[in-house]
Structure 1
Amino acid sequence: MKTGEKRVVRSDLWINPAFDERLAREPAVSLSVFQVRGQAAAAWDLLGAAHVYHVSAAKDELPPEWFAKADLLARCPDLLCVSSSGAGYDTVDVADCTAAGVLVVNQAGANAPSVAEHTLGLMLGVSRRMLESDRRMRRETGFSREDVMGHEIRGKTLGLVGIGHIGRRVAALGQAFGMDVIATDPFLSPEEIASRGARAVSFDELVEQSDFVSLHCPRDASTLKLMNASTYGRMKKGAIFISTARGGIHDEAALVEALRSGHLAGAGLDVWDQEPPPLDHPLLAMDNVFATFHTAGVTHEARRNVASMAAEQIAGLLAGERPPRLINPEAWSAYEKRRARILG
C-alpha cells in the first residue's frame, strides 16, 4: 500500500463500470474488490485497511457477514465511511456506524425516474388488468374481452405515502394522467408537499380516500408493517395497493387476505420480505397481482446514475468535502476527529 493512499473497497457483486472508471481518475485513491464467497481471509485483509466501504444495498444478495454492522466495523479500524449502493441501506446498521464515528451515505434520487416510471407501469398493469389478460391468453381460449375489462386511472385519486425524490416524480406522472394526487409525509410541511405536486393529507385520510395507495417511504422502525390488516381494511373497496419502497413496510399475509376477500382489487409489488419470494408464495398465484423482483430502479440508465453518483460522492468525501447524501450527520464531529488521525 502506498503512503497517503486513500483506500476504497467494494464487493464483486455487479456494479456499473462507471463507478470504477470515476474513481480511477482520482490519483490518490485506490479501489479494491473482494469476493463475497470464498477467499474470506483476502476479503478481510482488504476491508481491514479500507477507508471507504461501498456496500451493496441488496440484503438478499449480499451474505450477512459483509453487512456493515458492529462486528464488521470492529475489524475495520480505519473505516471512515460506508457508502450504500442505492437509496436504501438495509445492509447497514446506521446506529452501529454512528457509534463508531463512521459516516453512512446513500445514493437517494439517482434512480428516481426509473422507479417512478415502474410505479406507473404497475398501476396501469393492475388497473387495466394487462397481466391477467396476458396470462389468460397464454393458457386458455374462449374468454371475452369484457372478462378482462379494467379501469382507466384518469380521474382516480392517487395517494403517495412519502413524496421525496421518487414520490414527487410519481406525482407529476399521475397528474399527467389526469389523477388527483394526495400525499402524506411526516418530514414535509403541507406547503412543501403542495410544491411537489400533491395535496397534503393525514395518513388515515390518504388510506381512506385513495383509489391507489403507493408507498415511497423508507423502511425503518416507524414504517415496519405500516400497511397491515387494519390499514387494508380502511382502504376503499376496489382500491389498488402499490409498493416500490421496501419489503416489510407492507404485511404480505394481510395483503393476501385483503385480496382474497375481494376488498382490494389488486396489487403491484416490486418489493418483498424475501427477494425473490418463493415460487409458492400465495401472492404469486394471484392474477390480480403484478409482481416484479425489486427491479423498479434497475435500468441501464439508473444503474449508471447510481454508480456515478456514488463514486462522485466518495471522491468528494476523500477530498475533504461534506457528502451531500449523509444519513447520520450526528456522526460528523467524531468522523472529523478520526479522519484527522487516520488520514492526517
Structure 2
Amino acid sequence: MAVNVMRVVRSDLWIDPAFDQSFQGRQDVVLDVFPRNGPAEAAWAVLERAHVYQCSAAKDELPRQWFATEQLLQRCPQLLCVSSTGAGYDTIDVAACTKAGVAVVNQAGGNAASVAEQTFGLMLGVSRRMLECDRRLRREQGFGRESVMGHEIRGKTLGIVGIGHVGTRVAALARAFGMEVLATDPLLESAEITRRGASPVTLDELLARSDVVSLHCPRDPTTLRMIDAGAFARMKRGSIFITTARGGIHDEAALAAALASGHLAGAGVDVWDKEPPPLDHPLLQRDNVFATFHTAGVTHEARRNMATIAAQQILQLLAGERPPRLINPQVWPAFRARLLAAARQGRGQEPVAAA
C-alpha cells in the first residue's frame, strides 16, 4: 500500500550514509534532518511534520527534549513510527507510543557479530591480563612475565544472561573456544535456550557456576540493578564479569567493591550509567578492568548494517507490512488504521490523528 509522500525525520547525530541513501530517488518518502543543538524552533518545525522519527538510541548524546516521550508525541500528531537507531530504545517511551498508536521498531541483531566479538575481546583481555601487561610495559621496567600470568578460557564455564541475537552468537564463539555454556533468559523456554547452544539454568545457578558472567539482556524495569552487590557476592571467587548490554543493569559501585575485595578477578565493561564515565570513576582506576566506551556494536560493518535495516523496516511499515523487529506488536491494529488515515489525508480526504 503506497502512502503518497511521507516524511522521515532524524537528528543530525552521525548515522551511516546507507540510511539516507535508502530514501534517495523515492517519490513517496522525504527525509528531513533537524539540528539537535540548534534553535528548538527549527527542530520542532521539522519534527511536527514527521510521519517517522528515526530516534538515536544514544541516551547521553541525544538531548532529552528530543527523546520520544509523551510530550514529543503530543507535539507530533502525524507521527506513525519511532525507529531506534540501535537495539536499545532507552530514549523511547514505548508505552506512550503504544497509547498514541505509534509503532516502535529497533534494529536488534544488526550489530550482533560486532558485540559478540568485543565480548570475547574483553573476556580474553581480562582473563589473560593483556591490558595489565600493556599498561605495565608503558610505565615500568623489570617486572617478571609471571606477574601478569593469566588463565586460558578453554574448559571454563561461561554464563550468558540473555541469549537473544548477541547472546546466541556469544554462545557459538564460546563453544569454539571449548567453553561450557550456561544461559538464563526469562523470555525463552528451556528447549529454545538449548537450541541456541546453552544449558538453561536459573540466574542464581548461573552466578554460582560460571567462571565468566556476561550480560546480554535489555535494560528495562525488570533488569535495572539486577546485578547488584548480592549478585556479585553469589559469583564464584576469582570469576570475571563482562557486560556489553546497557548501563544500569549492573551496580557500578557494587562491582568496584567486589573487585577491590578480590572476590572478582576482573571485569570488562563497555556500558556505563553515564557515558562516557567520569575520569575519576573507581572502575577506571583499576588495572584489572578493561573499559570501553559503549563501542561493542560500533564497527563500520555494524553501523552500516543497522542503518540499512532501519531504512528497510521504515519502508516496510509505510507499505503496510509488519516489520520483523516491532517492539510493541499490540499497536499494529491502531497503527494500520492511522496509516490508512494518513493515506486518505494525502489524497485530500481527512486528517490523521493519534489514537
Q: TM-score, normalised by structure 2?
A: 0.95
Structure 1, unaligned stretches of length 5 or more? none
Task: Specify the alignment match of 1:122 in structure 2.
Answer: 122
Aligned length: 342
Structure 2, unaligned stretches of length 5 or more? 345-355
Output one character per residue of 1:40-59: Cα deviation in whole Å (capped at 9) or x when no partner. 21110111010000000000
Q: Tell me the distance in 2 between the aligned counterparts of 1:315 and 1:335.
A: 14
Task: Specify the alignment match of 1:141 in structure 2.
Answer: 141
Q: Tell me the SS of whatever aligns to 2:117.
A: helix
Task: Specify the alignment match of 2:104 in structure 1.
Answer: 104
**Which 10-residue stretch deviates more, 150-159 or 321-330?**
321-330
1:162-241 map, 5 Å: 162-241=162-241
Q: Tell me the distance in 2 between the aligned counterparts of 1:338 and 1:314.
A: 15
Q: Tell me the distance in 2 between the aligned counterparts of 1:300 and 1:27.
A: 29
Q: Tell me the distance in 1 between the aligned counterparts of 2:118 and 2:309.
A: 21
Amino acid at match of 2:262: G
1:1-344 map, 5 Å: 4-344=4-344
Deviation of residue 26 (structure 1)? 2.9
Q: Tell me the distance in 2 between the aligned counterparts of 1:288 and 1:77.
A: 50
Q: Tell me the SS of whatever aligns to 2:141.
A: coil
Q: Does the 8 A contact of 1:232 with 1:255 survive in 2?
A: yes
Amino acid at match of 2:104: V
Q: Tell me the distance in 2 between the aligned counterparts of 1:140 and 1:82.
A: 52
Deviation of residue 4 (structure 1)? 3.0
Q: Does the 8 A contact of 2:320 with 2:336 survive in 1?
A: no
| Alpha carbons of structure 1 residues 281 and 315: separation in structure 2 relative to 1, 3 Å | same
Deviation of residue 27 (structure 1)? 2.2
> Identity rate of aligned residues, in percent?
69
Q: Does the 8 A contact of 1:53 with 1:81 survive in 2?
A: yes
Deviation of residue 324 (structure 1)? 1.1
Q: Tell me the SS of whatever aligns to 1:265.
A: strand
Deviation of residue 64 (structure 1)? 0.2
Output one character per residue of 1:140-187: Cα deviation in whole Å (capped at 9) or x when no partner. 111100010000000000000011100000000000000000101111
Q: Tell me the distance in 2 between the aligned counterparts of 1:116 and 1:324.
A: 21
Q: Does the 8 A contact of 2:320 with 2:339 survive in 1?
A: no
Output one character per residue of 1:85-111: Cα deviation in whole Å (capped at 9) or x when no partner. 000001001011111111100000000
Q: Tell me the distance in 2 between the aligned counterparts of 1:317 and 1:94.
A: 17
Q: Tell me the distance in 2 between the aligned counterparts of 1:298 and 1:29.
A: 28
Deviation of residue 39 (structure 1)? 2.4
Q: Tell me the distance in 2 between the aligned counterparts of 1:343 and 1:213.
A: 50
Q: Tell me the distance in 1 between the aligned counterparts of 2:18 and 2:301.
A: 11
Q: Does the 8 A contact of 2:171 with 2:198 survive in 1?
A: yes
Give 4+ residue runs of structure 1 displaced > 3 Å after superposition.
none
Q: Tell me the SS of whatever aligns to 1:23.
A: coil
Deviation of residue 34 (structure 1)? 0.5
Q: Does the 8 A contact of 2:20 with 2:31 survive in 1?
A: yes
Q: Does the 8 A contact of 2:318 with 2:339 survive in 1?
A: no
Q: Tell me the distance in 2 between the aligned counterparts of 1:26 and 1:308.
A: 16
Amino acid at match of 2:50: A
Deviation of residue 25 (structure 1)? 4.1
Q: Tell me the distance in 2 between the aligned counterparts of 1:191 and 1:71.
A: 42
Output one character per residue of 1:208-229: Cα deviation in whole Å (capped at 9) or x when no partner. 0000000000000100011010
Q: TM-score, normalised by structure 1?
A: 0.98
Q: Does the 8 A contact of 1:26 with 1:315 survive in 2?
A: no
